[in-house]
Amino acid sequence: MNLEYFIAKRLSVGKGHKNSISAPIIKIAIAAITISIVMMLIAIATGDGLKMKIREKVAAFNGHIQISNFDNNNSDVSVVPVSLEQDFYPEFKNIEGINHIQAVASKGGIVRTDDTVEGILAKGVGKDYHWDVFKEYLVEGKLPDYSGERTDDVLVSRLLANRLKLKLGDTFLSVFLRDNDPSKVPNQQKSKIVGIYDSGFEEFDATYVFMDIRHIQRMNKWDENQIGDFEVFLKDFDDIDEKSKEIYGQTLSTLDTKTIKDKYGHIFQWIDLFDFNTALIIGIMIIVGGINMITALLVLILERTPMIGVLKALGSANWSIRKIFLYNAAYLISIGMFLGNVIGLGIIWAQDKYRMFKFPNPKEYYIEYIPVHIDLTSIVLLNIGVMVLCLLMLIVPSYIITRITPVKAIKFD
């Protein structure tokens, strides 16, 4: 094997290689492998990055799993209260993989200013609210603090603030139906903007206003131990279906669980298509790289026909000679893969740090820049897969070596 590897390496780096017919073909093959690796890494990184960012944004407004009363209410407005006194609150003790649980309540309302009127969804949150997920979306002011006395401070989106022609520090009046009955005198709530966020998710930014949950409880005539629902955050999004079933089994029969995949099925069906697109790009790039390597191998075999004849005359078996060329191909593939990894990971790192590339229409993807994410496992599996598949594609064309006879090959020289 050492002799075969040595001969294979000499085929690629020998003195006569630079001036040989196969030299430009080999360079093209290496370039094709390099470009293929770059494209595949970028496809995986952008696909996974976009999926992760969209999941994070949907979860920031809803949690991964919601626990609410079993009723026919399919809206985001809290109607039937849930008792805060549950065995699983403030933390699940019997279920692993739960990162955080928080109590919230929502109520639909209208904001009227001198210039315009906008409908809102007031989301009441308390001292247990997981504000960490909103830190990166905060563009002005600060996140509200509801751990002390009841406050009128609210967090609104930049989109809603612009529509209402409000700015940081302004106050406004909101109108909410009393007991969801239009015939009754509505509740009025005065609020002060202490923070402005921009998630880029217009579906949420257009309506969500975050306020003290005690205002929702007061308007709904609930006591301090009654809330709208619980929001559960998981450590790993991939466990969402499994954990939802576990949570459902650990809660009272009067409570129901719903995942964000169930609630926003159209969004998650759309982002699931990213996997297909990534797989398609990887498949095409492997085929392109493999075809170029097949061409390079065939040219190399034809160029080295006299050498093949000499080796056969000296008693070398067909498979031994084929392995020499396959080792040579593996060496060339490894060069292309190395260059591709360096360039591809460099581009991914630069995009993650500097966000150079942006979407032409951010509204369609819910984010301004192209997010990237890739892990070590994906990189290793991709490189192993490319090497194995390319070599498998080369086994068949290497069979041409068995058709070469020593007499004709040496005469060919």
The pLDDT-based confidence of 204 (bands split at 50, 70, 90) is very high
pLDDT for 306 equals 80
Structure tokens at 160: 């809603």
Round to whole Å and give the CA distance between 308 and 304: 6
pLDDT tens by residue, 208-257? 999 999 999 999 999 999 999 999 999 999 999 999 999 999 888 889 99
Question: What is the distance between the terminal CA atoms of the chain, rounded to a whole angstrom?
Answer: 27
Is residue 70 within 8 Å of 254, Cβ to Cβ? yes
**Could you tell me the pTM of the whole model?**
0.84
Round to whole Å and give the CA distance between 306 and 217: 89
The pLDDT-based confidence of 13 (bands split at 50, 70, 90) is very low
Is residue 123 within 8 Å of 113, Cβ to Cβ? no
Structure tokens at 353: 């740090």
Structure tokens at 413: 């020289």
Q: Please determine, for residue 413, whether its predicted confidence score (pLDDT) is greater than 60.
A: no
The C-alpha R_g of the chain, in whole angstroms, comes to 31
3-state secondary structure of 357: coil
Positive or negative: CA dihedral 95, 97, 102, 103? negative
Structure tokens at 333: 């593939």
- Output the average pLDDT for the chain: 87
Prior bond of 186 cis (ω within 30°): no
Q: Could you state, in order of their start, the residue ranges of all structural domains in the chain?
A: 2-56+268-412, 71-252
Nearest Cα residue to 232 out of 222, 224, 221, 240:
240
The pLDDT-based confidence of 139 (bands split at 50, 70, 90) is very high
Q: What is the DSSP string of 40-104?
A: HHHHHHHHHHHHHHHHHHHHHHH-SEEEEESSS--SSS--S-EES--TTSS--SS-TTEEEEEEE
Q: Please determine, for residue 16, whether its predicted confidence score (pLDDT) is greater than 80.
A: no
Is residue 65 within 8 Å of 403, Cβ to Cβ? no
- Rounded percentage of the chain residues whose pLDDT exceeds 90: 58
**What mean pLDDT is predicted for residues 320-344?**
91
| Count, residues in the chain | 413
The pLDDT-based confidence of 18 (bands split at 50, 70, 90) is low
**What mean pLDDT is predicted for residues 319-334?**
87
Q: Please determine, for residue 354, whether its predicted confidence score (pLDDT) is greater than 70.
A: yes
Tokens 């990887």 belong to residue: 282
More confident residue, 186 or 350: 350
In this structure, the strands spanning 117-125 and 208-212 are: parallel
